[in-house]
Structure 1
């Protein structure tokens, strides 16, 4: 199946159609589009609370009215790609679901102007919804969506472009269908909830991220739960939300969960049935502390925007066993590869090559133990993960060498108790130039290099020369040891 946006973006499903049909027949995918699933939920429990944010509560009936109002006012049409840059809250949910109601494809993202221009340009987006546009006015007939009807959508057509965290030089745009979201991705989220009758999910990560993307489409559309959102992460604010609004599950990256555990003793967290971690390696001390403080399972999710997933409550023994209702996993030449109901359609532009049959290559080295538990060994490509955010050192290095005072540059991680890793820029200085400080380099990277703030180095090591390995390449291991000795926490 090939889909073409109104502005010429071509997406071809890399998975054989027979496999997609088999997953629907097996019940792994609903064979429904997201907006029709939402209408079902509204019909079943219109007065249930759908969203809780810093502006209060929104019921399913109220959510549906606002989704309809924005969809009726949008000029988006089937085949359009619509950017959504709105912080966590009801407006982000309304915008994403209104785009789905129009039969268009949502591209939620965060970041500054440079990131926005890059993503919107690559996707050839027809429209952009920002928080300046919302809340949408609801007084005019057109804003209320009068005379507007939702569009019938093929559930195998694209619903959303996920933005990867940027382990390559630039983030990937990964296209997911309605079925892959509500089906395969929904099945993993359902398994995480382990029979909880009504979900109340406090999602601390951005809904625009791959990890947080389940919020509107799965917690609400597929399973009719309640979504608790805060506009930004603050540990004390999050714990107050837990005490007041009684979520059953909290979703965050390890750094967030560690900060929650540090202050949780002063708050009532008895409503929690599980704490869910993803986006980074879960350190053993954070796992231990969360278990002690919250007294519930800590679920560790191994996943990515490319459609791989495993989860477990015992991450000290591996990342879990693959679930065929989510995705099958196999090891090919040492690399973890995945194929299943949550496998994405395609990438915008050139994505990583797939194996025959549509199997996705994850870029992770892995192995199975005798009982079928998957173990992730390391990334094939070099990345630094800062508090769940993936940084490409190569991207920063390339920009650094454009500074007139920098002769050579390499970036390595230094361990950090709070964020896991921080990026250290290791540079040599050109003869005749003054030694730049960290502020001068980061200012240059932002203004001249186009590096977004989350990717900026936070440590600097100036050397007479970069250490070389026996092959003549920069020895990153030696460099990381030097940077850790200078800056790292012991």
Structure 2
């Protein structure tokens, strides 16, 4: 028997009448994340829930551990509405923690392994976390922070978790109440904390994943990105709780190990950033890997160029879906049946996920063909930013829209193309250059395997553009600029420096670490 604790969503910046309308349209399930998960436990207890470095867990086995962890947290005094932070590698412990916090009616704050002590301190303090669950390698750092943060009462290490009885009775929460904070990997001085409700996370984001499942198909999703990232939140919350699928995980991305895992676990969906797919395509073991189980590869988190999309289609022999989205509250992706020519667009908006408008500086909708800021509002819309009211004032509107800071354009058929960020520009002698535009152009060069462009300081021009390239064979700056000139890119947008690398560095969220590239290019 469950007892109900109502969490009041008074901090929701989306008008209540909009949430009610989306519920009436059937976009919301009206249940908490743990309750959705528990329904799959009852209906398919022997179905495989997780395949990770430690083996496999069925739904019944996973639920038993979730209930024991939930009882342990409750025994520590963690109650409904409390925030529990987690810093864990991809694996069963991440999912157990997510679901256990949901079972006690708490709010989980996952942040990726690799975040430094400065960011960890900021996240733990601003979120008001009362407990943190960490793996052994982060125990000392977090315990040190505990002495600095009065509200952080408990640090739980996964090697010795605090456990209770497996008959723990879950709390039934308000589905429009807070469930999870997503950590942005954007360009703010410190990461943004974005608060999502159960409905917005499991159902709004869940509708995005639903469109990736072919009719009559199953969902065995291998997440190459950290589950603690925005994209990775579609793991335990959506793949398991919403859709009852199987989650395939490895603690750290490695192209060769991932290929071996695909052969062994036979996933249907492969989800990561374009750089990860390029690494797998180029790996010598790829031609001998059994990839026949794959139905969808879904690159996201960075711009997808046409050569990478075509290389994915040929190498993995399945549908390629380009995903655009962010923790702030926007998602759009191409469809399974879109023609290959559309794959570098962001697809057409799904009303069950988010309505999207391209707007001018006064937030007036722009016609097809006009570039403007992408704003979004829909069932996946988060409640608010946490710990920074200035962000709510800057990026949220009174009628529920989220200002993403991304620039985009719709074509006459309703397809969205993302062309860059308002802030992500290199200013050379007063002229604005979009690195994303130049990256797309350079990626078409036959010798380029991967590319990212960054600005480097220059005493004369202010900034100059540096192309950081992974190349097959010899490549010079003149080769690049000659190619760009032949393909019509304005001369002032051409890179003036070239940095050749064996691979592009990735940050803890699995995206290209442009701060690292800037430091390398500057040096």
Range class of TM-score, shorter chain: 0.7 to 0.9
Count of equivalent residues: 412
Match of 1:174 among 162, 169, 194: 194
CA deviation map 1:33-62 (0-9, x unaligned): 001011100001111110000100011001
Report matched runs for 1:244-393 at 5 Å.
Answer: 244-263=264-283, 264-312=286-334, 313=338, 314=340, 315-316=342-343, 318-333=345-360, 334-348=372-386, 349-350=388-389, 351=391, 352-382=394-424
TM-score, normalised by the number of residues in structure 1: 0.78
One of 78, 81, 93 as aligned partner of 1:79: 81
TM-score norm. by structure 2 comes to: 0.74
Distance change >3 Å, CA 285–CA 151, structure 1 → 2: same
Once the two structures are TM-superposed, the CA of residue 331 in structure 1 deviates from its matched residue by 1.8
2:236 aligned with 1:220, yes or no? Answer: no
Cα distance in 2 for partners of 1:147, 1:45 equals 19
Q: 1:489 offset after TM fit, Å?
A: 4.9
Q: CA deviation at 1:217?
A: 0.5
In 1, the alpha carbon distance for the partners of 2:290 and 2:167 equals 47
Indicate if the aligned counterparts of 2:373 and 2:407 stay in contact, CA closer than 8 A: yes
Q: Secondary structure at the match of 1:154?
A: coil
Q: After the TM superposition, which residues 83-122 of structure 1 pair with which residues of structure 2 at under 5 Å, given as runs? A: 83-110=85-112, 111-122=115-126
Gaps of 5+ in 1: 385-392, 394-411, 427-462, 468-473
8 Å Cα contact 1:50-1:227 kept in structure 2? yes
Alignment of 1:384-403 (within 5 A): none
Structure 2 runs not aligned, ≥5 long: 1-5, 137-155, 361-371, 428-434, 469-491, 502-523
Cα distance 1:94–1:329, how it changes in 2: closer, same or farther (>3 A)?
same
The answer as to whether partners of 1:253 and 1:278 remain within 8 angstroms in 2 is yes
- Residue 16 of structure 2: aligned partner: 17
Matches within 5 A, 1:151-230: 151-230=171-250
- The answer as to whether partners of 2:465 and 2:495 remain within 8 angstroms in 1 is no
Q: CA deviation at 1:486?
A: 3.3
Map of 2:134 onto structure 1: 130
1:113: Cα distance to partner?
1.9
Instruction: State the SS of the aligned residue for 1:187.
Output: helix
CA distance in 2, matches of 1:11, 1:301: 31
Give the superposition deviation at 1:218: 0.7
SS at match of 1:12: coil
- Tell me the SS of whatever aligns to 1:215: helix
More displaced stretch, 54-63 vs 75-84: 75-84
Give the secondary-structure state (helix, strand or coil) at the position aligned to 2:496. helix
> 2-side partners of 1:189 and 1:489: how far apart?
36
TM-superposition CA deviations, 1:211-251 (whole Å, max 9, x none):
11110001000111000000000011111111111000100
Query: Contact 1:466–1:479 at 8 Å: present in 2 too?
Result: no
